[in-house]
Structure 1
């Protein structure tokens, strides 16, 4: 790469950020916009990375990116709403006089995000961060699978329904449709498809008729179209009676715990 060997370098740092909902943006520390691979990298001169440490060990690579919040790129409201949680980031350098050829500096996903005033600090976790997770599961009386995943194997085709939110009062949403079963969506998920909350996923604490109570109030007080996904309380009784799926239950409800020695007859 001859542009790295010259007496006067023309380096420009760039970030390609891909959200989980498919939205992709490009940012560059250069003072002018750059177009690379058909994506326009908007000028964000205040975006600067911390020291990038790369090695052959199994230690997790990490890096912090600090810069000014921009309402046209990454806004504080979207950060607090969780739209950028888990977004994939590719950090590279290019020649700003002839953008195209790049040198990869790091890649990973966005971890913790902090905001202070109009300044943003985001942690970038490298691929090796996955090695810090436990290699085996711990035992638990409740099921460790998620309803409908590859371990649960429950078909979800008829357990997803669309509805419209007609009212919001704190964490309680009023819908234009009633649930098919009592507390059908408790422990499930809700996805927004309209309004200011569009693209955000929420956890459902419980449901009752035409109302749904979220685990926390929605980020924006804006009714809209939603998708409701049934939930499960992860007990063996519910797995067997409601879903008929006890064969795939991923828990140990009858395994003695550490309190076995302290039990007494009738206790």
Structure 2
């Protein structure tokens, strides 16, 4: 239940009201944007909210229980503070959106209606639609260890125990928004960087990570094909760090990284095919491990 300050509650109970809605977007990189559907700027919770008539929100509901509440914010890319490039590079991913009810005639009369997190963002022409989800979405995240055949550690972290073998490199040629030619890498074999993680360390995309689909020789350099969303504003000379790919399997952990002693999965765990099979003498039911 939303707690409304007495002054604002008294105002809303009157015959004539002067209220509006304000949205404050707090990005993960500490950048804050403020907008309002009023026709002039308002200072809300210490944030200057600029008038944006093209910004609107769908109906939002707050429900009891563990269900994830969702809503949408729709607007035009008419504000100088929100650019198409920022949306493309993921600057607004997982940003916090606060929805405020404000008495524009007396901005100190305000109440926070909802705080949510931006999920998927879709764009069409000069318009964007951002889906927002309540904090209950965190309950869908996996916490703790999982009993699976595959490893649940990340290559190079403390649980993995392997150094990772990251190599630094630099973009040389931009073929497309998903293919680049890079230098500074020496892959030991043809699939070394497949499913690897590329993290940009300089340029407009610094801090952003992409997954490498595959790589191939390209003259004296190599060409990387990226699996994730397109990379905006990549320029020759941008630097990055590239981890080799790991498919989380016991076989690759043993053969590619010689790190089977630190494998964090359960490779001997029988699957449904073994658990529900008949002991007819044809299957492997002698108690030996399924994975050597």
Matches within 5 A, 1:81-92: 81-92=89-100
CA–CA distance in structure 1, aligned partners of residues 56 and 155 of structure 2: 41
CA–CA distance in structure 1, aligned partners of residues 26 and 156 of structure 2: 26
Matches within 5 A, 1:205-244: 205-207=213-215, 210-211=221-222, 212-215=224-227, 218-220=230-232, 222-223=234-235, 224-231=237-244, 232-240=246-254, 243=257
Q: In the alignment, which residue of structure 2 is the partner of 1:13?
A: 21
CA–CA distance in structure 2, aligned partners of residues 70 and 179 of structure 1: 45
CA–CA distance in structure 1, aligned partners of residues 74 and 208 of structure 2: 24
Q: Is 1:83–1:200's contact at 8 Å kept on the other side of the alignment?
A: no
2:175 pairs with 1:169: yes
CA–CA distance in structure 2, aligned partners of residues 99 and 160 of structure 1: 52
Query: Which moved further from structure 2: 53-62 or 219-228?
Result: 219-228
Structure 1 residues 24 and 244: CA distance shift in structure 2, 3 A: farther
Matches within 5 A, 1:58-77: 58-70=66-78, 72-77=80-85
CA–CA distance in structure 2, aligned partners of residues 135 and 217 of structure 1: 27
- TM-score, length-scaled by structure 1: 0.79
Q: In the alignment, which residue of structure 1 is the partner of 2:290?
A: none
Matches within 5 A, 1:122-201: 122-132=130-140, 139-149=147-157, 151-152=159-160, 154=162, 159-170=165-176, 171-179=178-186, 181-182=188-189, 184-195=192-203, 197-198=205-206, 200-201=208-209
CA–CA distance in structure 2, aligned partners of residues 238 and 98 of structure 1: 64
CA shift, 1:152, in A, is 3.4
Secondary structure in 1 matching 2:251: helix
Structure 1 residue ranges without an equivalent (≥5): none
Secondary structure in 2 matching 1:237: helix
- Please provide the CA RMSD for this pair: 3.4
Higher Rg of the two aligned structures:
2
Q: Residue by residue, what CA displacement relative to the aligned partner does 1:235-265 show, whole Å, maximum 9, x if unpaired?
A: 2234345545434423233323233449957
CA–CA distance in structure 1, aligned partners of residues 122 and 179 of structure 2: 28
Q: In the alignment, which residue of structure 2 is the partner of 1:115?
A: 123
Q: Residue by residue, what CA displacement relative to the aligned partner does 1:32-68 show, whole Å, maximum 9, x if unpaired?
A: 2223444332221232222221233222221121222
CA shift, 1:14, in A, is 1.9
Q: In the alignment, which residue of structure 1 is the partner of 2:287?
A: none
Equivalent pairs, count: 264
- TM-score, length-scaled by structure 2: 0.73
Secondary structure in 2 matching 1:175: strand
CA–CA distance in structure 2, aligned partners of residues 56 and 265 of structure 1: 50
Structure 1 residues 59 and 150: CA distance shift in structure 2, 3 A: farther
CA shift, 1:22, in A, is 3.5
Query: Which moved further from structure 2: 88-97 or 201-210?
Result: 201-210
